[in-house]
Amino acid sequence: MKRRLLLSTFACLLFVNVFLGFRFYSVRAATPEEDTGYAQISVFAKAVQLIRQDYVDSKKTSYHDLIYAAMKGMLASLDPHSQFMEPDDFKDMQDDTRSRFNGLGIEVSVKNGLLTVITPMEDTPAAKAGILSGDQILRINGNSTERMELQDAVNVLRGVPGQKVTLTMLRPSTKEIKDYVLDRVEIKVQSVKGVRLLDPELGGPFKIGYVRLIQFNEPTANELEKALDELRQQGMQALVLDLRNNPGGLLNSAVDVCGRFLPPNTTVVSTQGRAGSQQSEYATSSSGKQRPQFPMTVLVNEGSASGSEIVAGALKDLKRAIIVGETTFGKGSVQNVIQLPDGSALRFTTAKYYTPGKQVIHANGVAPNIRVPLTSEQERALFTARSSDNLKPEDEKDLIKTKDPQMLRAIDALKGVMIYAQEMSPKIEAVKK
């Protein structure tokens, strides 16, 4: 009986091996001494050959599809910010730097393994729906994002205007899970907004200017310069620069923005990587226009990332501005984008950013001089109001007084600096005499 059972078991195993069609191949692995690249490429080539030869669905085994899939996996295995971009994805990235694209208005990244909103961009469906920085995207159109690559998520969020996208979001601060049904639209980002002198009731005896930067793209620095000239003509004595929920953008744009507040040839950020070519310092232009050193505060929060962190870190370390708000996102790595012959591109991390005080930005962020948190309710009220096209000056003043303690603290800091300067000025003059 026992022998019959053994024979029966062997027969079952034989049946499984025959009818499941297992076929075993042997490819010699490279030894560490042979790890010159050529040996591993031969292994890869053999794998592609076997898949093309025997995979059940021939429609999925073109060289184009297999090689593209391999490159996506290769870049995704490095870090959340490295990626392989197909030609259309690369074109979308180029459109971003020119301030136009189709989508929902959400900047996303992977944080702690989760697809996370860096910021909802103003005047977009995401901001108007009440999505906030730090919200986590659990599902897109019902599909889990748990193992979704960042670029695949971005491709779904973007697309043809007019189509609806359903996002299932988790808000960590409240543990609330909510579905948002949003329409894709054509998004044109105006990088400089809200240029004005603050209401005298807020500024008191001082004329305090306000500028909000939405992101750092090609025209940002020039637009900012025009805004500062306009405010100076109105008698501005101090400035609040709002970088809250600014996800960053172009490195050169961030450096040029620093040049509007710092002397020429001032190093504002450095990079350090494995290769010697990645050890670089970026300084303000030698031909930059020197501006009066008016007092200045910078508003930041968790949605301030990349270029925003470069500007905030530089102005903080160089004692040019007081940073107010919350610690920034912590996206301080350098990605090189290299176009390939077929129009696709590699985007991969080559270095990390360091502030002038040699503080690493990546994963740490930039800590404010004055920490002022916002509640979820305050943040929602602020950014919902900013997405409104009909907010009256009186309503905005009331909103700041009731919902924006960060702005109030920034204004108070500027008032303190200017009052101190006024009191010290006669004493300094007396000493000179």
Secondary structure string (H, E, C) spanning 26-51:
CCCCCCHHHCCCHHHHHHHHHHHHHH
CATH placement of domain 192-424: 3.90.226.10
239 three-state secondary structure: strand
Give the pLDDT band of residue 123 (cuts 50, 70, 90).
Answer: confident
Mean pLDDT of 104-126: 86
pLDDT band at 432 (very low <50, low <70, confident <90, very high): low
Active-site residue (options: 79, 95, 199, 317): 317
What is the distance between the alpha carbons of residues 428 and 421, in angstroms, rounded to a whole number?
Answer: 10
Range name among 88-97, 109-118, 266-275 with the lowest pLDDT average: 88-97
Candidate from 5-9, 26-30, 44-48, 396-400 with smallest mean pLDDT: 5-9
CB distance 383 to 304 below 8 Å: no
CB 220 within 8 A of CB 428: no
Examine the residue annotation and report whether 331 is marked as an active-site residue of this protein: yes
pTM value is: 0.76
Listed by start position, the domains of the chain span: 100-188, 192-424
Residue-level pLDDT at 8? 40
Judged by DSSP in three states, 185 sits in strand
If 0-12 CB within 10 Å is exposed, 13-18 middle and 19+ buried, where does residue 41 land? exposed
**For 293-312, how does the pLDDT look when each residue is reduced to its tens digit (9 = 90+)?**
899 999 999 999 999 999 99
Q: Active-site residue 352, yes or no?
A: no
Interval 29-48 mean pLDDT: 78
* Residue 341 CB neighbour total at 10 angstroms: 5
* Contacts for 133 with CB less than 8 Å, ≥ 6 apart: 117, 118, 119, 120, 245, 301, 302, 303, 329, 379
pLDDT, tens digit (0-9, with 9 covering 90-100), for 210-227: 999 999 998 999 999 999
Active-site residue, from 111, 316, 331, 415: 331
From the list 82, 304, 306, 387, the catalytic residue is: 306
Q: Which amino acid is at 117?
A: V
> Where residue 110 falls among pLDDT bands split at 50, 70, 90?
confident
256 is catalytic: no
Q: Indicate whether 10 pLDDT > 80.
A: no
Looking at the structure, give the CATH architecture of the domain made up of residues 100-188.
Answer: Roll (2.30)
- Mean pLDDT across the chain, nearest whole number? 86
Range with top average pLDDT, 6-10, 25-29, 247-251: 247-251
| pLDDT over 70 percentage in the chain | 87
Nearest to 366 by CA among 321, 335, 408, 334: 321
Q: Poorest-confidence range of 12-21, 62-71, 100-109, 272-281?
A: 12-21
| Residue 206 contacts residue 190 (beta carbons within 8 Å) | no
Instruction: Specify which of 116-130, 303-317, 416-430 reaches the highest per-range mean pLDDT.
Output: 303-317
> Which of 14-23, 221-230, 363-372 is predicted least confidently?
14-23
State the CB neighbour count (10 A cutoff) for residue 111.
Answer: 18
Bigger pLDDT: 285 vs 382: 285
Mean per-residue pLDDT for 399-403? 92
Interval 139-160 mean pLDDT: 88
12 falls in which pLDDT band (50, 70, 90)?
very low
d(Cα 102, Cα 257) in Å, to the nearest integer? 26
Is residue 275 helix, strand or coil? coil
**Can you tell me the mean pLDDT for 77-103?**
80
